[in-house]
Amino acid sequence: MGFISLDFPREVLEIASDGKQGGRWCVKNWAELEKYWRGKNGSGNVYFTAYGYRATTPPRNHRVDYDTPIIRHFVMDFDCKDFKQRGADVDFPFMHEQVKRLHRFLKYENIRHFVWFSGGGFHFWIPLRDMYTPSNESHKRRIREGGRNLITAWHKKLNLSCNDPSVAFDTSGMIRIPNSYNSKRGCWSIPMSSDEILNLTHDEIMEKAQTPARGYIEIEGEDINITVPESKNSFKKSVEKVEGLPDITLGDIIVLPCLAQAALGEGNPTHKARFHFVSYLAARFRWFFPPEAVDNETKTTHVDRICSVIEAQGWVDYNENITRTQVENIVFGGSGNKGYSAASCATLEYDGLCIGKCRYFDGSIGDEND
């Protein structure tokens, strides 16, 4: 068996060594992807969407339609951050031990997988037994829920706090292209064998990553299956209560713990995390009045404040112009171009951002125990 099938079209993105971000656009086949990869590789950081898609968006068709993903695998991203502790920094050995635990578990369970050292962490590519082509948002959410139920079980069993749970099954998210150059770390993304995962030290891995690699290393096993819940079960899963979480504030604004973990600080938050973070801040700034209750001049001041907050976070792909455009789209967009409302807890949970039933829980997720 070979590497996971890569479907097209999919989107690519470059972040230059000076932090400047290029735009997203489509590559429609292997030849276009390889041409892009060869043209950019070594000069910056190159990413592509973790999934391919069945359609592009007219009229120019240079972007994909995120509602048409082809889901035949998922990616688990490990970094030197403890996502149970709001992304607190940890050392490489702490994270590496979790990578070893997951790798040993997958081998024991005979689950096929591929592992890349990304420069700062590790990416596990795990093929699915079945291919999913969701036809609507509800179906896409149920697939995501089924996948994340599996990953949540692994988190609890193996204590995988350095795996960002919002990355897997994010159908619009991007991941570093395997075997590409990491300009921030000064090394290459390289495939890892089982022996290398278990036995090499950080220094030895970094030394190996000074030389570019080609191809992949398959760790043999069977492709895994996920259980996709029936639609009637939507919004009815139980969420565990969490207590003792500290208040996270930006000046006089309290940030929900789930959004603080997903979006605050250095890193590369997912598209969903950024969208919900911005729409929440906009709602807070207008005191949760409906978007249409606030005039455009006031909304413009909210855009300025939100952009200042984002600039201070140090996101790896921060771009001032792109950020402002996207924030304006959220603050002024939505139904009737009045602006988006803040997401409910149910939506945050379905998008993989919920960290448990905290004191800000809004009651939108059903729980038979309450």
**CATH classification at residue 150:** 3.90.920.10
Same domain? For 181 and 82 the reply is yes
- pTM of the shown model: 0.70
Same domain? For 295 and 201 the reply is no
Same domain? For 171 and 68 the reply is yes
Confirm whether 232 is domain-assigned: no
Confirm whether 56 is domain-assigned: yes
Same domain? For 64 and 161 the reply is yes
What is the domain extent for residue 144? 10-208
pLDDT tens-digit profile of 281-325? 998 988 888 888 888 899 999 999 999 999 888 776 788 888 898
- Can you list the alpha helix ranges (DSSP code H) found in 133-218? 137-158, 194-199, 202-208
CA distance 43 to 59: 31
Alpha carbon of residue 64 to chain centroid: 17
CA distance 215 to 156: 33
Confirm whether 213 is domain-assigned: no
Spans of the chain, pLDDT less than 50: 1, 232-236, 367-370
Same domain? For 174 and 301 the reply is no
Cβ–Cβ < 8 Å for 49, 174 = yes
CA distance 307 to 318: 10
Same domain? For 274 and 133 the reply is no
Q: What letters, b where the CB count within 10 A reaches 16 and e where it falls short, cover 97-121? A: ebbeebbeebbeeebbbbbbbbbbb
Alpha carbon of residue 36 to chain centroid: 22
pLDDT score, position 87:
63
pLDDT score, position 11:
94
Same domain? For 318 and 193 the reply is no
CA distance 19 to 12: 16
Supply 70's token pair: 């082809």
Confirm whether 203 is domain-assigned: yes
Structurally, how many domains does the chain consist of? Answer: 2
Same domain? For 184 and 46 the reply is yes
Q: Are strands 114-117 and 122-132 parallel, antiparallel or unpaired?
A: antiparallel
Same domain? For 18 and 127 the reply is yes
Confirm whether 151 is domain-assigned: yes
CA distance 206 to 304: 41
Confirm whether 368 is domain-assigned: no
* DSSP 3-state of 204: helix
CA distance 93 to 37: 31
Confirm whether 111 is domain-assigned: yes
Number of H helices, E strands in the chain: 10, 15
pLDDT score, position 370:
38
Same domain? For 52 and 143 the reply is yes
Same domain? For 45 and 166 the reply is yes
pLDDT tens-digit profile of 4-61? 889 999 999 988 777 777 778 899 999 999 999 888 877 789 999 999 999 998 888 8
Same domain? For 196 and 261 the reply is no
Tell me which of 185, 208, 231 is where a domain ends. Answer: 208
pLDDT score, position 366:
55
Confirm whether 219 is domain-assigned: no
